[in-house]
Amino acid sequence: MDMKKTITLLVVLLSFTLQAQVHDKAPKIKVKITNAQDNQWVILYKMLGLRKQYIANKAVVNDTTSFELPKLNNRGIYLMTYALPEHENAIKIYYDGIGDLSVALDRKKPKESLIFESDENNLYYLYQENNIALQSQLEKLTKNGGVAKFKKLKKKAAAFQKQHEGFAGNSIVKFFITADQIHVPNSLVNINSLKAFQKKHYFDAIDFNNPYLYQADYLLEKLQNYTYKDQQEKTNEVMKADFDKALSKIEKDSTFQYIFLRDAWKHFAGKSDYVRKDVKQKENAELANYIGTKYLKPLTKKYEDVMLEYQITAYSNLSIGAKVPNIVFKKGKQWTSLHSLKGADKYVLIFWSSTCSHCLKELPKVYKEIKDRSDIQVIAFAIEDDDMIENWRVQKAQFEGWQHIFGKGKWKNPVAQKYAILATPTYFVLDKDKKIVAKPEKESGLLKALD
């Protein structure tokens, strides 16, 4: 959008001054959704940082619905969700506590069609749109621009920021506009130097003590962007340093640290509840173990999260490159162990069950492909109920030459728990030193890893 047109529009829109007002009736957020689905619903929450306060769940009738807000203490940031999954179908609404507010969208293209009857929301959404455009122009200049054009853009960016902070006045969105400002270097540089400059000054304008930035999850999102993005361009050492710096910004808030680190560990361990569309999720065991061992595990003890502590330990013990936990078993009449096995270049550790249909389908295929491979030894650990030993003996007979172990107690078996087995079959491919080289999910992946 042209800057002059934007400013003119904003001047017309933002003829407001925020003063304490007394309302005879509770204010409302009015919602219009065109192309609404049958039984369309909308849920409204008030954002309170690490948690959300449920306001109401309303059905959309004739494309409309509305939410009544409390008469007092209603200023803040609200989250409106209109479909599942909620994190992909939600809109933040900034409310200054004055009068009614209206929002409209098309269910088929919600982000593109979003319209507010709200000065503060129009201001911030327009600011974000133009901010993105300014950043894009700046990046283009670093590749193909001149000093004169750069100086002009730098002046334009400064004026743009000042104008919008002025337009915001005492509005709640001023805090976000201030924090979102673009950091422009003093002279024209190449794209890598620009990235380095903006990374250095990333936190300069962000007030980590501001309650509204905290409530809107803005601070959490900023920390995640700083540490998650451009993973393919960073070494693990750089990413570790990024986490160290990010955590220094919230070192006095252990609860905030816990949430941030928990989500980060899940992200890099490949266990995230959902994948952010703007960040490629790629498992990084070294970084996950750095976050988990150095920072998160001590916090799990403080918050008594026994399950997460167990998951962190199990993941660390079972990461690619880690030497697997030892398994002691009887081979003939002699006791031996997994770590002491010799004579093979690769070892395949399979957790299975004689009553598992997937196992009985996959394992014969695996056996057929590798039974003549002298460079491979297979350890088949059966997770069984105590009374299934006869059935196990019958089924294991088809896998002659494998080292078979009967693990009684099913899921409560100590070895199964040590290996964090949640499903069968589960495969581990080990090198001659019993270090994990692959954790394939299916027999096809296992056979590929053994090529």
Q: Strand 52-59 to strand 101-106: parallel, antiparallel, or no bridges (unpaired)?
A: unpaired
Residue 275: pLDDT above 80?
no
- CATH code assigned to 328-449: 3.40.30.10
Q: Chain centroid to CA 351: how far?
A: 30
Instruction: Tell whether the torsion through CA atoms of 125, 131, 134 and 140 is positive or negative.
Output: negative
> pLDDT confidence of 19, banded at 50, 70, 90?
very low
What pLDDT digit, counting tens, does each position of 380-408 carry? 999 999 999 999 999 999 999 999 999 99
Mean pLDDT of the chain, nearest integer: 92
> Quick one: average pLDDT of 243-267?
96
> Quick one: average pLDDT of 54-74?
96
Check if the beta carbon of residue 391 is closer than 8 Å to that of residue 354.
yes
What pLDDT digit, counting tens, does each position of 168-179 carry? 999 999 999 999
> Quick one: average pLDDT of 134-161?
94
Residue 274: pLDDT above 80?
no
> Quick one: average pLDDT of 350-361?
97
> pLDDT confidence of 105, banded at 50, 70, 90?
very high
Which of 8-12, 76-80, 328-332 comes out lowest in average pLDDT? 8-12
Q: Which residue has the higher pLDDT, 280 or 18?
A: 280
> Quick one: average pLDDT of 328-356?
96
Q: Which residue has the higher pLDDT, 161 or 231?
A: 161
> pLDDT confidence of 184, banded at 50, 70, 90?
very high
Q: 316: Cβ–Cβ under 8 A, 6 or more apart, which residues?
A: 289, 292, 293, 322
Which of 22-36, 225-239, 359-373 comes out lowest in average pLDDT? 22-36
The confidence score (pLDDT) of residue 134 equals 97
23-118 CATH fold: Immunoglobulin-like (2.60.40)
Phi, psi dihedrals of residue 418, rounded to the nearest 5°: -65, -35
Name the one residue in this structure whose structure tokens are 């697997």: 324
> pLDDT confidence of 87, banded at 50, 70, 90?
confident
How far is residue 339 from each of residues 381, 437, 439, measured CA to CA in Å?
15, 15, 18
- Domain segments of the chain: what residues? 23-118, 217-317, 328-449
The confidence score (pLDDT) of residue 280 equals 65
> Quick one: average pLDDT of 66-92?
95
pTM of the entire structure? 0.81
Q: Token pair of 98, please?
A: 């004055």
Q: Token pair of 390, please?
A: 């006869």
Residue 11: pLDDT above 50?
no
pLDDT > 70: what percent of the chain? Answer: 93
> pLDDT confidence of 144, banded at 50, 70, 90?
confident
> Quick one: average pLDDT of 104-118?
95
> Quick one: average pLDDT of 358-368?
97
Q: Token pair of 250, please?
A: 């919230």
> pLDDT confidence of 276, banded at 50, 70, 90?
low
